[in-house]
Structure 1
Amino acid sequence: MMQQYLRLKAQHPDTLLFYRMGDFYELFFEDAEKAARLLDITLTTRGQSNGEPIRMAGVPFHAVEQYLARLVKLGESVVIAEQIGEPGATKGPMERAVSRIVTPGTLTDAALLDDRRDSLLLAASLHRGTLGLAWLNLANGDLRLMECPAEALQAQFERLRPAEVLVPDGLLLPLIEALSPALRRLADWQFDAETGIRLLTGHFATRDLAGFGVEGLPVALSAAAALYDYARATQQQSLAHVTGLVVERESEYLRLDAATRRNLELTETLRGEAAPTLLSLLDTCITSMGSRWLRHALHHPLRDRAVPASRHEAVAELVGDGDGRTASAVRTALRGVADVDRITARIALRSARPRDLSALRESLSRLPELGSLLHGTRAALMVDLLRALDIAPDALALLQAAIATEPAAMIRDGGVIAPGYDAELDELRGIQSNCGEFLLALEARERERSGIANLKVEFNKVHGFYIEVSRANADRVPDDYRRRQTLKNAERYITPELKAFEDKALSASERALSREKLLYDGILDELAAHIPALQRIARALATLDGLAAFSEAALRYGYVQPAFVIRPGIRIDGGRHAVVERQVDNFIRNDAHLAATRRMLMITGPNMGGKSTFMRQVALICLLAHVGSFVPADAAEIGPLDAIFTRIGASDDLASGRSTFMVEMTEAAAILHGATEHSLVLMDEIGRGTSTFDGLALAFSIARHLLEKNRSLTLFATHYFELTRLNADYPECANVHLDAVEHGHRIVFLHALEEGPASQSYGIEVAALAGIPAPVIRDAKRRLRALENREIGAGPQADLFATLPEPEAEPLSHPVLTALADIDPDALSPREALERLYALKRLAD
């Protein structure tokens, strides 16, 4: 047995081997130690190998999926070796063979997958500065390729978020190591373009790949070679549900670099949490397919505005006149729909379980209702969805006829095939269910025939069926009785009729289960012919669910349909930040106007005044429009856009040895090199990571470069008030500010955008709100007055405060002063003020 294990382990040295032994999956040697540590299971020893105890650990077969899920989340891969053949059929240990290989990027089992997130296997290849990517969603058969510049690596990984990455052994890119949760290195020769062409043409049964548009993509094809071969090996079979190949181009989508995706908090907060984000707000999808569609859409805003415009039209139909009756009815009908997308993949891979098929049956039975709700629709996209849903009647008829209403969880448990589907199976089941009736009838006949009143017909697992007669009546039994067992007070017999029934009954259960397995395999074969149709249905259901979620947001939060216009610029009336407005009581709406003659808004105002929120809301409104959603505004017109860039926030990158300022400048450099006149650029507090004069100089030059060279639509927030003078030389740079007022000793943020520069930043007041000690605040105010009065000379910046006199000594503590400091005069009634005055007089005395 150990020789068999070691042979299998030698074929898969880098993965954990789950070796089936009876009711357990066992792991041995180093695998056992690793599994015991990762899964917190018992490590034991048994026997010896080469004079050393054999370390082993195991998990029960019925709970294996939960252990696999934990290992996959930790980035581990697992090989499953199952017993094959029948026990006792051959001499020696039972033969075992690899049935499947479970890796983070090749999951298809529902128990192992996050049902609201795609799990992608990605292969990357690099040649002369060109990055070739190929990725596969094995859970639905979606295969895609692309080539891009090597410097786009981080942006693409942030967009795709692969679960597992394959790279050539000789590719040394530290960034890939940092970005990949599960990295697997393969031999360099597996990344070969000619091999990729051969594998893919063989799979699609085509002479070449011209129809897929992959000409001139040798680096991507080399990645595809490794990807396809690896995926096929893990499944131990062909990938029948991979029915197409899509080539993506960078120009298809609005460019969002890694920093922008993080800063806009599309699907993850800056703290790495799932909420509150744009996705967590919008994802009211009924199905898991819809949630995955929505997540993908948010990360893939389209440049071709015809597609999002068609989605706007569809959402408008679902919203109707504002009553949302169509949307509500569609969402209600979707409640009975399962994950058709992933069930279809499991059918193709022959891993679909009985309840997958019953769920598919219930889902397909909902299509007529959904079709009737969409009947008469005028939106072109809705017409396409309606057409896609009006298919697969043969698949539904097969499932209704073949699968039991409530099938068992596993085919090995029986009770999966519906009564009436197969005559032979019905007969075998009849034998099992009629066993009791037959025995009672036989007992009655034999009592009458023999005249023995206490004769019994019974069964036990050791001796099978028998007729029991008391010892006193043994001489009265008929001649065809054959003695089977002698007891102290009774004799047990078998008759030819009972023996024939026994043979039939005892084998009926095994034969029925074997027959069910055979029929089930046949059903999977028949369903395999419907895979393309089922995939179209799944895509249509996912899209419809996502559009219904957009309509729900529009109805619930008062979103409006945006308009795409030809002229360059952005005009938003009454815009809101989709996420922030749900977190506060009274969100202040703001307009945003950018145009060819107003390309930059120089935004000033106090800390906490809302500058960053305003900039982000403009970006999110533009992104939502290009995704196909309605937007949080009173009205919105969006001109041509090709990218959204953001330079917001400050954090260092210790893993890469980059300081906060270095990260800031790297992101700024990417914007200056990549932004065009059709790009939306968000610049927040650029230059604050270094000395004041250096920062001001950089901020000024960066702003001027954006105005002169990039000519981008730019929101530029700053505390350098010197930058507000830019509009004297550049009329297309408009000054705006978010205002605040002082009320008593407090500052009130108005969060309203006004034309013109801000009068002051209120930084010291914000520091006081944050709890900075009062002496520090008083000293800061004194030094601020000195700076504003030009009381310091123009020397090196390091000596900025050197000429200031020492701060005055703190006044002596006195009870009256302490009591006065605690009084808020605006909060006192006249009577309370009089009482406090008398109290102060007593303290003074």
Structure 2
Amino acid sequence: MAQKRSRYQSSKVVSKSPSDHGNVRPFEACHLGWGNNDILAVKSPSTSLEGGPKPVKKARKKRQTEVVASTVTTDESPAAVSLEERDDSELQPRNQLAREILANLNKFPHCILLTRVGQFYESYFEQAVEVAALLDIKLTTRKWDGQRIHMCGFPLMHLDKHMKALIQHHKRFVAMCEEFPKFVAGARYFERRVVRVITPGTLIDESFLNPYENNYLLAVHGDADVIDANGVGSLDQKKIGLAWIDISTGDFLSKLSSLDTLRDDLVRINPREIVLDHRLQGLPSHPVRTILEEEDSFVSYAHLPTTKEPPLGEDHPNAGHEATASDDITEQTDDNNSTAPTISYTPQEENAFNLVTAYLHGNLLENMPTLNLPNREGNDGRMRIDAHTIKALEIRESMKEGGVKGSLLSTVKRTVTSSGSRLLGRWLCSPSTSLHEINARQTLVAFFHARPHFYIEDAGRIVQKFLLGKGGPNDLMALGNTIKAWGSVRQLVEDERRFEMQEVPHLSSQDWASIDALMSRLSELSSVQQRVDLAFRKEIDDSESDSEGANDEELVEPGGAKIRTAWKFGHDKWLINPAFSEELTTLHENLKNYLWQREQKELELQRRFNAPSLTLRTSPAYGMHVHLAKKREQGELNKAEAFISIAESGTTKCYFNQEWSHLGARIVETAQALEIAERDACELLRNEVNEHAPQLRRNARIVDELDVTLGFAQLAKEMNFVRPEIRDDHSYYVENGRHPTVELGLLTSGRVFTPNTTQMTPESRLHIITGPNMAGKSTLLRQTALIAILAQTGSFVPADSATIGLVDQLFSRVGAKDDLFHGRSTFMVEMMETAEILRKATPRSLVIMDEVGRGTTVKDGLAIAFATIHHLLTVNRCRALFATHFHELADMLGYTGQQENPAGSGVFKDVTFFHSDVQDIGDDRFAYSYRLKAGINRDSHSLKVAQLAGLPAKCLTIASATLDCLKHGEKSTRQEESMVHSEFWTTT
């Protein structure tokens, strides 16, 4: 396989860092702009503004010296030495870059160190071997202090691709060492320092960060007895503090959990990285470690901050300072609610967010923001959905597809913003149990459902970028447009209200109460938008735009390198409006004047020397020079004393001219000053955004709610959903309910979903459902649970009508599979799930259970199924759907066989029986009847399913005869038994 080409396959490479090889300065560069479209203007040391040109050979010699100094060799080099093989005298190499790399490797031994060198990121010593293997890039060596060391690297443009591989695929920490140019006494050198350690839970604005999902970093911390314990026992109820933050959005939350509920919280929060107290690192059998291992969590460790153990390196500005929550966490402020009650946190929660803050300190370093106190998430007010149910109901991702496609989230998602999609995912995994909150959301959905013409940037992440010291002009412009959109939403609501009042004067204002409450929480931020608009509004005459040099020819430098003119100073270069500040206005006027002088000077020289091809240019090799493209026009210029030839190639020739050098220097200096002024202007705007960060975040959250509720309204319109009535009781009535995901799948293939009605009351709170395989029992169970989830998130539901009593917890025992890695069979997994349901379900809970007792002998399974039903009915007293193939349960529960009253008797009078069936349609064909009927179906029709699956005819014949024999029992004739045995032995 051919090796990938890279910078390091060449034996001669020009270093991008003069400080690494003495003070060799082939040219001095300055960027004339801000952002990704920087234009490089250069001043060549081969031309002196005061003393005229330097010999070309000397400049060439200097460049050759640099090339030799940065020679890198490939695989033919002698074996590279490791850090351990270096002598003590070599631990402090003479090379500045090597000293910096060794120092950073010692400071961050747990990280892969990537060092910025010019336009490349490079890795050295033993880490280079590992990095080259992980990223499948070329490994080579270089010579430092007489010895060869390993190195590899990749271009700056490939950073995101390789970071994704290192962090998301290989789960490695990456320390980013950036370079910063410094000028001392006119000489430029580079300072390098690690500015950030990137981990899976501390992504900020990387391109591979999923915009539709939160990237949470979760800290787990408990009391001393939880931390120090090494066994389970009575620890189940011990309190554990959780604190989780999405550093890319600023979302910060906390809650009190326990070992018993930790697994459920992990699946619901879905963190990308988990931080534990460092004391747990040596306790692999600790119950917290065991739970995290079973959930395949990515775990890191950190010290709680103390004065004795600062979380930062000694060179960090905050080193030696005790980093506590009070240092980096401020109280949340809300301009509209200054009297909000103070949040009370438990000691476990305080330890958790101190732990997560210390971890961020040690990794974000210079990018560490000031955090608000976390929003406390109580155990009340939210429907608890256990870990297995979130997976089994495919709320967030499909078990079959392994992604969002086919999940409830993908089915109901109609949001138009990425932040709205993230909020929708949180709502679905944690529905509300507050009647007020549910009704408020439903009212918004109904409002937009009746007004389809209302349909409208991820502001949360943009604001967080600025708080982290990041973000550029594009982010500022996007934020300005977002604030403008918020104003448009408010205006649209006001216009709609006015139009409705004009058309229907007697219209009740109650319809508008919910949207009015939401709009009243929007902060007025037009001043920020106006400042951004002023900064980036272009009001420049096209005639001022300078397009010179666009079609300039190339000049071949001695040595073969091609030189392009770097002379473009058009006004499209600058991002900030000149009218934004007096300084910018003055600098733009000066630059415009100098460019006009350049243009006049060029025209003057063309006329004076009769040389239409003459242009005034700049290049890295020759600095400011006069360029002639045609040889026949060079005669007059060769005779002029003010023009000194410095380069010639073919028909082109370059001359040094002191007057042009002075003018060109002023242009470069003014352009540099403009670049600095633009950066200062952007920094000023960033600071203004940061001052309004609380209001911006609050507005973003409000618009996210609008986005989700608008999406619910659009979904209801498209899929014919209805508004459910939510009650504070234990009822559940859904008329002609439908499974939203299955229905959407059927519609795409031109088929129709068969709805079913489910009604649970205090007198009929447990339903036994029997019927054939593939006849829709499991679908009914799942749709019942999903309708409850949608209803309590505030959405409309797929039904003709629905009345649902509040559900505090949702449990499921469906679709189990073995866990061989932890030594658990399928039956064991099912029993563990059943045990959790029977321990935790309350009278307000909703339970769905499918085929409890399978996987063991018929009698044992039947006994377990009966005992489970008995416990649900008499102890938990919850609403439950129980699908089974144990038809004997009907007799054990006192089923009388009356179609008009398909209920149990005695202690089981609150049990009701329903079933599905198949219909024979002739020619040995059948069809499923998915509509439930009252009663029991004592035939599972499993042989029909086996026939549908394609079992061989011989096999089906034996199965049919055997089933007939088993059904008749002792009544079977000897002829039937003989036939069965004969068929069996013939086939074997």
Query: Do Structure 1 and Structure 2 share a fold, with TM-score over 0.5?
Result: yes
Which one of the candidate residues 416, 438, 458 is aligned to 2:616?
A: 458
* Alpha carbons 2:330, 2:373 under 8 Å: kept: no
1:566-577 equivalences under 5 Å are 566-577=728-739
Q: Residue 330 of structure 1 corresponds to which residue in structure 2?
A: 454
Q: 1:740 to 1:147 in 2, by over 3 A?
A: same
How far apart are residue 452 of structure 1 and its match?
6.8
How far apart are residue 6 of structure 1 and its match?
1.0
CA–CA separation in structure 2 for the residues paired with 1:493 and 1:135: 63
Q: Residue 158 of structure 2 corresponds to which residue in structure 1?
A: 63
Helix, strand or coil: the match of 2:740? coil
1:503 maps to 2:665: yes
How far apart are residue 390 of structure 1 and its match?
5.0
1:567 aligned partner, one-letter code: D
How far apart are residue 767 of structure 1 and its match?
1.4
How far apart are residue 807 of structure 1 and its match?
2.2
Q: Residue 138 of structure 1 corresponds to which residue in structure 2?
A: 247
Which one of the candidate residues 207, 212, 222 is aligned to 1:126?
A: 222
- CA-to-aligned-CA distance 1:133-184 (integer Å, 9 cap, x gap): 1111111212111111202121111001101111123323222134254221
Q: Residue 743 of structure 1 corresponds to which residue in structure 2?
A: 921
How far apart are residue 490 of structure 1 and its match?
11
2:905 aligned partner, one-letter code: A
1:111 maps to 2:288: no
Q: Residue 167 of structure 1 corresponds to which residue in structure 2?
A: 276
CA–CA separation in structure 2 for the residues paired with 1:360 and 1:629: 29
How far apart are residue 781 of structure 1 and its match?
2.0
Q: 1:805 to 1:214 in 2, by over 3 A?
A: farther
* Alpha carbons 2:767, 2:881 under 8 Å: kept: yes
1:647-796 equivalences under 5 Å are 647-725=813-891, 726=893, 727-729=904-906, 730-744=908-922, 745-791=924-970
CA–CA separation in structure 2 for the residues paired with 1:17 and 1:238: 18
Q: Residue 14 of structure 1 corresponds to which residue in structure 2?
A: 110
Helix, strand or coil: the match of 2:271? coil
Q: Residue 199 of structure 1 corresponds to which residue in structure 2?
A: 324
* Alpha carbons 1:132, 1:148 under 8 Å: kept: yes
Which one of the candidate residues 730, 743, 749 is aligned to 1:581?
A: 743
Q: 1:49 to 1:582 in 2, by over 3 A?
A: farther
1:807 maps to 2:980: yes
- CA-to-aligned-CA distance 1:200-243 (integer Å, 9 cap, x gap): 233345699x9886646222221211101212332224754633
Q: Residue 563 of structure 2 corresponds to which residue in structure 1?
A: none
1:253 aligned partner, one-letter code: R
User: Where does the alignment leave 5 or more consecutive residues of structure 1 unmatched?
Assistant: 321-325, 408-412, 794-800, 814-845
Q: Residue 149 of structure 2 corresponds to which residue in structure 1?
A: 54
CA–CA separation in structure 1 for the residues paired with 2:139 and 2:647: 48
Which one of the candidate residues 419, 425, 428 is aligned to 1:289?
A: 419
* Alpha carbons 1:600, 1:732 under 8 Å: kept: yes
1:518-537 equivalences under 5 Å are 518-537=680-699
- CA-to-aligned-CA distance 1:238-266 (integer Å, 9 cap, x gap): 75463342111222311111111111111
What is the TM-score with the length of structure 1 in the denominator? 0.85
Which one of the candidate residues 578, 586, 595 is aligned to 1:419?
A: 578
* Alpha carbons 2:887, 2:938 under 8 Å: kept: no
1:228-267 equivalences under 5 Å are 228-237=357-366, 240=369, 242-267=371-396
1:310 aligned partner, one-letter code: A
CA–CA separation in structure 2 for the residues paired with 1:358 and 1:596: 58
Helix, strand or coil: the match of 1:123? strand
1:728 aligned partner, one-letter code: S
2:143 aligned partner, one-letter code: G
1:82-121 equivalences under 5 Å are 82-86=178-182, 94-121=190-217
User: Where does the alignment leave 5 or more consecutive residues of structure 2 unmatched?
Assistant: 1-96, 227-237, 281-285, 312-320, 334-338, 498-508, 541-571, 894-903
Tell me: higher relative CO, structure 1 or 2? Use CA pairs within 8 A at least 6 residues apart.
2
* Alpha carbons 1:125, 1:132 under 8 Å: kept: yes
2:361 aligned partner, one-letter code: R
Which one of the candidate residues 264, 268, 274 is aligned to 2:404?
A: 274
- CA-to-aligned-CA distance 1:272-303 (integer Å, 9 cap, x gap): 23221111111121111111111111111111
How far apart are residue 502 of structure 1 and its match?
3.1
Q: 1:349 to 1:363 in 2, by over 3 A?
A: same
CA–CA separation in structure 1 for the residues paired with 2:805 and 2:984: 61
How far apart are residue 731 of structure 1 and its match?
0.9
1:317 maps to 2:447: yes
CA–CA separation in structure 2 for the residues paired with 1:593 and 1:472: 102
CA–CA separation in structure 1 for the residues paired with 2:602 and 2:189: 45
Q: 1:318 to 1:113 in 2, by over 3 A?
A: same
1:307 aligned partner, one-letter code: E
Q: 1:465 to 1:254 in 2, by over 3 A?
A: same
Helix, strand or coil: the match of 2:394? coil
Q: 1:363 to 1:207 in 2, by over 3 A?
A: closer
1:778 aligned partner, one-letter code: T
CA–CA separation in structure 2 for the residues paired with 1:473 and 1:70: 58
Helix, strand or coil: the match of 1:603? strand
CA–CA separation in structure 2 for the residues paired with 1:319 and 1:603: 36
CA–CA separation in structure 1 for the residues paired with 2:347 and 2:308: 8
CA–CA separation in structure 1 for the residues paired with 2:768 and 2:806: 22
Which one of the candidate residues 333, 341, 347 is aligned to 2:460?
A: 341
Which one of the candidate residues 43, 59, 65 is aligned to 2:139?
A: 43
How far apart are residue 118 of structure 1 and its match?
0.4
Q: 1:85 to 1:447 in 2, by over 3 A?
A: closer
1:176 aligned partner, one-letter code: L
CA–CA separation in structure 1 for the residues paired with 2:323 and 2:178: 32
2:529 aligned partner, one-letter code: L
2:709 aligned partner, one-letter code: L
Helix, strand or coil: the match of 2:732? strand
* Alpha carbons 2:382, 2:433 under 8 Å: kept: yes
CA–CA separation in structure 2 for the residues paired with 1:621 and 1:564: 12
Q: Residue 72 of structure 1 corresponds to which residue in structure 2?
A: 167
How far apart are residue 750 of structure 1 and its match?
0.5
- Worse-superposed segment, 42-51 or 113-122: 42-51
CA–CA separation in structure 2 for the residues paired with 1:373 and 1:718: 54
How far apart are residue 728 of structure 1 and its match?
2.3
1:157 maps to 2:249: no
How far apart are residue 741 of structure 1 and its match?
2.1
2:728 aligned partner, one-letter code: I
CA–CA separation in structure 1 for the residues paired with 2:370 and 2:409: 29
How far apart are residue 570 of structure 1 and its match?
0.3
* Alpha carbons 2:328, 2:357 under 8 Å: kept: no
How far apart are residue 2 of structure 1 and its match?
1.2
Q: Residue 39 of structure 2 corresponds to which residue in structure 1?
A: none
1:441 maps to 2:570: no
* Alpha carbons 1:289, 1:541 under 8 Å: kept: no
Q: Residue 373 of structure 1 corresponds to which residue in structure 2?
A: 492
Q: Residue 179 of structure 1 corresponds to which residue in structure 2?
A: 295
- CA RMSD in angstroms comes to 3.5
CA–CA separation in structure 2 for the residues paired with 1:160 and 1:490: 68
CA–CA separation in structure 2 for the residues paired with 1:811 and 1:446: 108
* Alpha carbons 1:115, 1:288 under 8 Å: kept: yes
- Worse-superposed segment, 115-124 or 720-729: 720-729
CA–CA separation in structure 2 for the residues paired with 1:397 and 1:307: 35
1:611 maps to 2:777: yes
Helix, strand or coil: the match of 2:357? helix
Helix, strand or coil: the match of 1:579? helix
Q: Residue 532 of structure 2 corresponds to which residue in structure 1?
A: 399
2:150 aligned partner, one-letter code: R
Q: 1:240 to 1:94 in 2, by over 3 A?
A: closer
Q: Residue 640 of structure 1 corresponds to which residue in structure 2?
A: 806
Q: How many residue pairs were aligned?
A: 780
CA–CA separation in structure 2 for the residues paired with 1:310 and 1:110: 36
Helix, strand or coil: the match of 1:666? helix
